[in-house]
Amino acid sequence: MLRNKTYRRYYFGTVVEITVLAILLLLSIGMVGAQTGTQDLNITLDSSEPVNLNIESLPGMVTMRLGSSSSATTTKIIMKGFAPKTTYQKYQDDYHNLVTFTTDDSGSYAYTQDILKPHFIFIQPEPGKISKTGDIVTIAADPISSTIFISDDATGGDCTLVGTWDNSTKTCTLTTDLAETVQIDDDGITLNGNGHILTGSGTGSGVYLPGRSGVTIKSLTVKNFTDGIYYNNYPPDIGFENTLIDNNANSNYRNGIYFYFGERNNLTNNTANLNLDGGIVLERTGYDTLLYNNASYNNISGIYLYQSSNNMLIGNNASNNVYYGILSYQSYENTLKNNIVNTNSFGIFFRSGYRNTFINNIANSNYGDGIFLYYYTFENNLTNNTANFNRGNGIGLGFADSNNTLLGNNASNNNNSGIYVAYSLDNNTVTDNTASNNSYGIHLYFSSKNIIYNNIFNNINNSWIDDDRMNTWNITKKMGSNIVGGPYLGGNFWAHPNGTGFSQTCPDNDRDGLCDVRYTLDENNIDYLPLALAVEVEPSNLIKNPGFESGTTPWMFYTDGTGKFTSASPGYDGNNSANIVLYTGGTNIQLYQTGISLEPITRYRLSFAAYSTTGHNLKVRLIKHVSPYTGYGLDRTFDLSARWQEFSTEFTTIGFTGAVNDGRLMFFLAPYVKAGDKYYIDNVRLEKI
């Protein structure tokens, strides 16, 4: 279930009568009825000229976003359903523009509304008046002074009533807890809560920012308001680069933190838990950054993006919410990375969005799906996400989704399918994913033209295809390491938890890591190149008699001094090694092997074990065996000690353009050797990598 706000848009005449039944809304001053849900508004109208009006009935509050009219200057609004003979407050655009009214005997109120330009109207019960004497803050019954206004003047507006004002930094630091709304009147102001608590009476906004820019709110706890912290940029204007850091916006009657329009805002290390609607809500915003926030245990969603785009959500925890960890509607080009969304109804639920990126998110143990993209979502990218132990599917695409990519995700141990694709077509790519121990590895429901390859499906039932629509289950055989370590890419790895799966038992006589027979899911869905178990083949050693266990052949020894080469103990790995004893020094002393076959511009690895009794070094070279003795890419000195060590180096062949078989690998001891030195060399390997 995707719960939408109770917005209504209507078109009215020059003088319009609108009846709003705010049945759930407001009882009497200081009292708010129990709110378990938002009911639809009962609106009657008679109209011929257009006016746009969006109305919300909220816990403890009615809000109206009223558009301008090109054909009318005013409209008459009649509201019914309030408590009879009760005083309420009606604000226009912000908390400065206040009109108090008292309902008649039937609980009705009528007034004339300007519609020359857009307005934001909100109505709430009448709170008390706040004042301060010394360190004592008192609440009286005067509604006019019930809001604290922080502004850029000598005293910070009302800041000195409740805290200290630093004019140089435009910072208001609270020194007391509060029970009323704080409104930020100017750009560039910092409100430092200093650990204090702002407690409401179930209505209004805790901190209200009417379209401000460059404002910072930090270290403040806000609770028991309709919205804890509310940034409202309506009518839409330029408002941007506000910062919320280290705040707690918990236990509010709608949202903990709510941003409406604006861009490039930063929310870091905030907590928004136990709110009756959403923890953090971004509506029609862009280029915002949410870092390391905790939005959990909310009645609807932890984080909600509504028609919001180009935002970054990184490292947030949105778990244990009733419906959604992270919810999005008609939002595009957002990036979600390293977020945790566990134990919600849905972990991540995106409806009608495109070009969103999901990287390294964890969506486990949700009561529905871990991650689900629904209804005209396209060109989204899901990479390296984990969606395990969900009661629904791990990762799902549903209804007209196209050109999405699922890459490197793990969707395992889910009650339904690891990967679910329903009513989706045209070029969704599913590759490098692991779907294990699910009821079904992948479920296709009326879906076609998807490309599914190089995945691991390890389930009792690996696939469920509801119809005969065609999908592609492999690419053309291509050299490259596949998901189970084989040397070629092709199709998918079809396993069974007990080890009897198709890919675990299929023949692979040529050892290319691909089964020699196709895997048929149904007549229109065939994996022509299913992956086989990778057979580890040790790289071929180009050196003969590498451990000197067969004597000295084909190794050769030359010195222009005097010395001796034998195959004898001690061996590094085995019985023997090359034993070289130098009776005198020389300028050309080498142990070498010839006839080595090499390929041009190719990576090789040389490894060996060695030591010398005096710790003298040696050099290893790979050259053309005959004149002009061209270097083939290896020329390196190794620092030996007086005990065995292993050495390894990698290089790329040079000096020739076609394959050759005239390579000479030589261990060159001069000029390091001295008379009486003994060298020991073993386990010589030269292999292509």
Per-residue pLDDT at 34 exceeds 70: no
**Percentage of the chain modeled with pLDDT above 70:** 89
Contacts of residue 110, Cβ cutoff 8 Å, sequence gap at least 6? 76, 77, 78, 79
Closest CA to 561 of 680, 677, 681: 677
Cross-strand pairs, 240: 263
Closest CA to 117 of 51, 189, 168: 51
Confidence of residue 509 (pLDDT cuts 50, 70, 90): very high
- Residue 546 confidence (pLDDT): 96
- Residue 70 confidence (pLDDT): 83
* Model pTM score: 0.75
Are the C-beta atoms of residues 126 and 145 closer than 8 Å to each other?
no
Per-residue pLDDT at 621 exceeds 90: yes
The tokens describing 574, both together, are 């085995």
- Give 391-407 pLDDT, tens digit per residue: 999 999 998 778 999 99
Interatomic CA distance for residues 214 and 264, integer angstroms: 10
Confidence of residue 538 (pLDDT cuts 50, 70, 90): low
Query: Which of 121-125, 141-145, 608-612 has the weakest average pLDDT?
Result: 141-145
Strands 119-125 and 61-66: antiparallel
Strands 488-489 and 205-209: unpaired
- Residue 51 confidence (pLDDT): 67
Are the C-beta atoms of residues 181 and 205 closer than 8 Å to each other?
yes
Q: Enumerate the domain spans of the chain.
A: 18-30+38-125, 142-308, 556-688
Q: Using omega within 30 degrees of 0 as the cis cutoff, is the peptide bond preceding 570 cis?
A: yes
- Residue 77 confidence (pLDDT): 86
Query: Which of 8-22, 47-61, 512-526 has the weakest average pLDDT?
Result: 8-22
Closest CA to 562 of 664, 677, 477, 411: 677
- Residue 132 confidence (pLDDT): 45
Per-residue pLDDT at 19 exceeds 80: no
Interatomic CA distance for residues 402 and 423, integer angstroms: 10
Confidence of residue 188 (pLDDT cuts 50, 70, 90): very high
- Residue 359 confidence (pLDDT): 99
Per-residue pLDDT at 640 exceeds 90: yes
- Give 208-231 pLDDT, tens digit per residue: 999 999 999 999 999 999 999 999
- Residue 53 confidence (pLDDT): 78
Confidence of residue 514 (pLDDT cuts 50, 70, 90): very high
214: left (phi over 0), alpha (psi -120 to 50) or beta: left
Are the C-beta atoms of residues 295 and 316 closer than 8 Å to each other?
yes
- Residue 124 confidence (pLDDT): 87
Confidence of residue 663 (pLDDT cuts 50, 70, 90): very high
Interatomic CA distance for residues 236 and 248, integer angstroms: 27
Interatomic CA distance for residues 234 and 181, integer angstroms: 18
Are the C-beta atoms of residues 302 and 271 closer than 8 Å to each other?
no
Strands 589-598 and 603-612: unpaired
Q: Which CATH class is domain 556-688?
A: mainly beta
- Give 240-271 pLDDT, tens digit per residue: 899 999 999 999 999 999 999 999 999 999 99
For 163, phi and psi rounded to 5 degrees? Answer: -175, -160
* Mean per-residue pLDDT over the chain, rounded: 89
- Residue 585 confidence (pLDDT): 87
CATH topology of domain 18-30+38-125: Immunoglobulin-like (2.60.40)
- Residue 239 confidence (pLDDT): 76
Burial 23-38 (b: 16+ CB within 10 A, else e): ebbbebbeebeebeeb
Confidence of residue 79 (pLDDT cuts 50, 70, 90): confident
Per-residue pLDDT at 44 exceeds 70: no
Per-residue pLDDT at 131 exceeds 50: no
- Give 316-352 pLDDT, tens digit per residue: 999 999 999 999 999 999 999 999 999 999 999 999 9
Per-residue pLDDT at 45 exceeds 90: no
